[in-house]
A and B are shown apart, each in its own frame.
Chain A
């Protein structure tokens, strides 16, 4: 029974990692860009939610609704005025620029908000739990996981069922040929990064309610996100969810054996999956 309990907690934790990773996966799928500042952008979103919640005295869930369009705009501007300028055949410039961006965001947040640990407070819901077939689970972890599934589902619908998603896939296939269809790749990329920042804001909401955060924790979130994307197979959104769950479950199992093994077990699982399936679990066939 204790193992089932551990397994369930791990799966739910995986939902949080999938939320960290979904935006990264989307951006990679559309423009082959690995955004090294993704973790810091999640932390930035957490501070935006915190600021809105504090200034207007709002519940963080309500504050997030205000933060979402703000972060969409941040993503759009970032892509239009910075990242589009360095995207090209060479993958090194965007890596360097997003690495620099990561440092800039961390230091900017440090100046504005200091190094103090913060938390979003959502009230009594944080302590509530429900019983699922004999296993007691916290409402917040459950909500996180359900949100992750909904986010991945929504992104998949956008990707495969809408006109915008068609433009995403075509632009990812052939950046020059879409110009002949009247599509401007830079606009497509700006919208994709905007959407990735919307997802980052949802991730930030749960991150901020469930744990303390400060300006320095971005790179570690990036690492989990990155591992989830790679485990799932580059470009596969459902794969990203599976990747998040695998890391979550490994961490939970590791922690159950020895609390000090939690983080390490997640990374070990990542390495093991890569050894067995170097292209991840659900690679896109054409990559």
Chain B
């Protein structure tokens, strides 16, 4: 099957510092991809490049065959990619409900996601709808960030480190909502430092180190040793 989203030799720079050195990934329709890697491997940089927060050559990133590498973030969103950014980035001046609504500010797509369906999978948010978004617990804030990204009914949902700073039970709860998100058809890319979690949910895994993909494959094909080497760069 043709991938819906691909990167082709993607590079990224912060000033003189090169953060990505030719990254190739493919995401197929309905797939869940996990991207793992140590701190500073370039996972967030990859996410930022795909969503248009970092500019690239047009053909370095393709969505359904169209080159989107040079598009701005709003243009990428319009084409159906949304992101739960690293650190959540909720808007402190907005209530929970407004934080959700703003996810569908310019694009509502044609899918099942709207305020009602988001509240259905996370009822507590409905109870807290008028609280400031940033007044919730970390896990609830993360669910607001996920709901916000769903409000545009994306074809590809990117999630950057959902579990960062959250207790294990909370992480479990968040990932428990994934099947419901998946069954509605979107492809999902999760950046995850928790390898066990990544292996559990992903159809395929990419491991990154120092700006390069060092390993890829289905969770059942990858040995612990392969992953360890790809993750920490122990010479094999």
Contacts and interface: CB of A to CB of B under 8 A. Distances in A.
Interface of A: 163, 166-167, 169-170, 172-174, 176-184, 286
29 contacts: A166-B98, A166-B101, A166-B102, A166-B105, A167-B102, A167-B105, A173-B91, A173-B93, A176-B73, A177-B85, A178-B102, A179-B53, A179-B72, A179-B73, A179-B77, A180-B51, A180-B77, A180-B83, A180-B149, A181-B77, A181-B102, A181-B105, A182-B73, A182-B74, A182-B105, A182-B106, A182-B107, A183-B105, A286-B93
Nearest to A179: B73
Given A177-B85, A180-B82, A181-B102, A170 B77 contact: no
A180 B85 contact: yes
A233 B111 CA distance: 43
Given A166-B101, A182-B107, A172 B93 contact: yes
A60 B70 CA distance: 50
B168 to A, nearest CB: 27
B173 interface: no
A143 B78 CA distance: 46
A286 B82 CA distance: 27
Q: Is the interface of A mostly helix, strand, loop or mixed?
A: helix
Interface of B: 51-53, 72-74, 77-78, 82-83, 85, 89, 91-94, 98, 101-103, 105-107, 148-149, 152
Given A163-B105, A182-B78, A170 B89 contact: no
A181 B147 CA distance: 12
Contact of A170 (B52, B93, B149): B93
A173 B92 contact: yes
A46 to B, nearest CB: 34
A147 B148 CA distance: 38
Contacts of B106: 181-183
Given A166-B102, A182-B78, A177 B94 contact: no
B135 to A, nearest CB: 12
A278 B48 CA distance: 39
B36 to A, nearest CB: 23
A170 B103 CA distance: 11
B89 A177 contact: yes
Contacts of A184: 72, 74
Contacts of A286: 92-93
B74 A176 contact: no
A182 B103 CA distance: 8
The winner among A176, A177, A179, A183 for most chain B CB atoms within 10 A is A177
Contacts of A163: 101, 105
A180 B91 contact: no
A170 B83 CA distance: 16
A182 B101 CA distance: 12
A183 B72 CA distance: 11
A182 B93 CA distance: 18
B95 to A, nearest CB: 10
A170 B105 CA distance: 11
Contact of A169 (B91, B149, B152): B91
